[in-house]
Chains A and B, each alone.
Chain A
Amino acid sequence: MKRLAPYLLILPGGLWLAIFLVVPMVFMASVSTQEGDVVNGFAQTFNFSVYGDALMQYKTQFLRSAGYGLVATVVSIALAYPMAYWIAFKGGNRKSTYLLLVLLPFFVSFVLRTVSWRFLLADDGMLLAPLKSAGLLPEDFHVLQTTFAVIGGLVYNYLPFMILPIYVALERVDPKVVEAAQDLYAARREAFTKIVLPLSLPGVFAGVLMTFVPMTADYVNAGILGGPENTMIGNIIQTEYLVNNDYPTAAALSFTLMAAMLIGIFAYAKALGTENVLEAAAR
């Protein structure tokens, strides 16, 4: 019984993943190489060419998604790091209050939040209309249906996932270690670059993993805030599946996206792995 206990702990979660992740994945992998249509049904033909065709057809959206994901990740780090730093080192005994504020948007539906941005930023909405009538902005100025709006939405929606891991990493940095650096002739800036920053990088690393992947695959922001020029790969998959009922193409795109992101993440981990970064910082 005692030796079985660890396995019992993993059983519920393991079963859950097996049933709801592995089984559908195998099923979708099978669908991706089938041919046919929704009326006459699909048959397995091991048609692997769908992968190449889909990738060529939607190359632009793939690259755009990666670009949006990358820019949004960088912007998220720039916004999240100072916030996490402030909460961790200057938050005093109100740290949990500030963290709750960071998490507050999660209490409102993801779609609802994004749709309300649409109202806020509409061409004649409450923000732009007064500025336009005051002559501060040209009449044809718009925010919606631009790259800016989509990336802004992505950053807004995923920011807490960047703040939290960075905060956790910074919280664990012993203030005495920073004092030790200052005691050893490091100016404030050096104490940050040599001590605090390297010690918090695992948090940044985790934050990137937790935001880059869902942001790149996101379709809500591009769908609600973007225009035809901002279509991301998530939107294409959604359309192929739900509108065109082209299940094989949708499945093939999904797997291609997944593979691309896994490769990207592994390359990132290898190049910027925590150990490597820390080694470099120690010099």
Chain B
Amino acid sequence: MTEIQVGTEAADAASRSPQTPAIELDEVVKEYVSHGEVVQAVKGVTLTIAEGEFFSLLGPSGCGKTTTMRMIAGFEDPSRGNVRLHGQDVTNVPPNRRDVNMVFQSYALFPHMNVWENVAFGLRRKKVAEAEIKRRVGEILEIVDLTGREKRRPREMSGGQQQRVALARALVNNPRALLLDEPLGALDLKLRQAMQIELKRIQREVGITFVYVTHDQSEALTMSDRIAVMNDGMVEQLGTPREIYERPATAFVAGFIGTSNLLSGTVDCLRSGFAVLRLGDEDQVLAEGGSFSAGEPIAITVRPEKIGISTEEPTGDLSIVRGIVSEVVYLGLYNSYTVSLAQGAEVTVFQQNALDSTSTAERGDAVWLSWRPQHSYAIGS
């Protein structure tokens, strides 16, 4: 039982070629039985996470993101499908023999051990020489800025410090991938934002693949190289933060990431690669993406900050709609307008308070909303 498939550092380095993906999930399904019924928590997820990547699994609670991560860690056995770490099938390998480490949501520090012993735990199980343990624990505590606190017990530390102990305890083993399960959830906003930047710095410094589970879209956007947006046990969209934000593939992604306006109508005609959408008599909306034919019903999304609002008719090759301001909310950084369109839809518009803080329109004003055609995308249903 003492044989651990983690190998030596040299063997590690050899198999860590950038070509081999760090983690591969192949049609992974997780089913469990609840009240006599089979429930699928994860419905066939296929992912390839590259070496050194900061990868986020983002989605609402119950979307299967934590279950997916626990299958990578080995705490859950997939009902179907395979998990590969660096090309090696580990589907049936128990967690203690997998060379990935996890940072738990509640940290799960060992309460009866001090910081040093917590961090040294993994290396001691791997039977690393005591001098080597000393060096590596010292090194990692320096990286997470906990030098001098080795003798503290977890309960004597603040939430942010415990968080860093948890991080050090996992990172010190130089794992092939670090799995983080909503690690910042218990911290207050300021500390959370500081830790986001800190985590990104540490990840760059150690160069280890990070898989980050979160329901907080801004966290995922801030830190990730790529994001998989999950919903109802499936990956809705996979892409860089920019792609996910700018070009949401589904209505769910558009709604879950940031604020988004969803407008539906029928395609009137096609003009220079854009579909021209008819909403009301005087409105025209141009949308990118996909191939459409006239008369086809489609839905488009547009982000509130992309929309200009004015009381005079704008000119140019823009998407233009008319409406009545039904609400103006001052939010410091920007004003938020809610505009009711003639055909009943409501559009949210953010206008930055950059030049002067007086609002361009008041409640009840008739306004034109306009945006560039490339900022609205037709999305799948």
Contact = CB atoms under 8 A, between A and B. Distances in A.
A189 B105 CA distance: 24
Contacts of B121: 181, 184, 186, 194
B1 A187 contact: yes
Interface in B79-134: 94-97, 101-102, 104-106, 108-114, 117, 121-122, 125-126
Interface stretch (A55-63, A118-126, A171-179, A264-272): A171-179
A185 B74 CA distance: 12
A234 B1 CA distance: 49
A183 B101 contact: yes
A177 B169 CA distance: 13
Nearest to A172: B111
Contacts of B73: 183
B98 to A, nearest CB: 8
Contacts of B169: 180, 184
Contacts of A152: none
B45 interface: no
B331 interface: no
Contact of A281 (B2, B96, B112): B112
A183 B111 contact: no
Nearest to A190: B125
A182 B101 CA distance: 10
B112 A183 contact: no
A182 B108 contact: no
A194 B94 CA distance: 18
A45 to B, nearest CB: 54
Contact of B110 (A177, A182, A283): A177
A179 B75 contact: yes
A162 B263 CA distance: 67
A199 B111 contact: yes
A282 B125 contact: no
Interface residues of A, number: 23
Contacts of A185: 4, 6, 96-97, 122, 125-126, 173
A198 B95 contact: no
Contacts of B1: 187, 189
A278 interface: yes
Contact of B102 (A183, A186, A191, A199): A183
B105 to A, nearest CB: 8
Contacts of B94: 182
Dominant secondary structure of chain B at its interface with chain A? loop
A191 B170 CA distance: 16
B332 to A, nearest CB: 39
Contacts of A189: 1
A195 interface: yes
Given A278-B112, A282-B117, A183 B95 contact: yes
B4 to A, nearest CB: 5
A6 B350 CA distance: 57
B104 A195 contact: no
Contact of A176 (B2, B104, B113): B104
A177 B111 contact: yes
A198 B112 CA distance: 8
Contacts of A278: 112
B296 to A, nearest CB: 51
A195 B109 CA distance: 11
Contacts of B95: 179, 182-183
Contacts of A191: 96
Q: Which of B6, B97, B104 has the most CB of A within 10 A?
A: B104
Nearest to A187: B1
A186 B95 CA distance: 9
Nearest to B114: A282
A176 B108 contact: yes
A194 B169 CA distance: 16
Q: Which of B4, B95, B109, B170 has the most CB of A within 10 A?
A: B95
Nearest to A178: B108
Contact of A282 (B2, B102, B112): B112
Contacts of A190: 125
Contacts of A184: 96, 101, 121-122, 125, 169-170, 173
Contacts of B110: 177, 180-181, 195, 282
Nearest to B2: A187
B33 to A, nearest CB: 14
Q: Which of B73, B101, B110, B117 has the most CB of A within 10 A?
A: B110
Contacts of A179: 75, 95, 102, 104, 108
Interface in A157-214: 174, 176-177, 179-187, 189-191, 194-195, 198-199
Nearest to A186: B125
Contacts of B112: 198-199, 278, 281-282
A195 to B, nearest CB: 6
Q: Which of A179, A180, A181, A189 has the most CB of B within 10 A?
A: A180
19 contacts: A174-B106, A177-B108, A179-B95, A179-B102, A180-B104, A180-B110, A180-B169, A183-B170, A184-B96, A184-B121, A184-B169, A185-B97, A185-B122, A186-B125, A187-B2, A187-B96, A190-B125, A194-B121, A282-B113
Given A176-B106, A183-B170, A186-B121, 9 more contacts: A174-B108, A177-B109, A179-B104, A180-B109, A183-B95, A185-B122, A185-B125, A185-B173, A282-B110
Interface of A: 174, 176-177, 179-187, 189-191, 194-195, 198-199, 278, 281-283
The 4 residue pairs across chains A and B that have the minimum distance between CB atoms: A184-B122, A185-B125, A176-B108, A180-B108
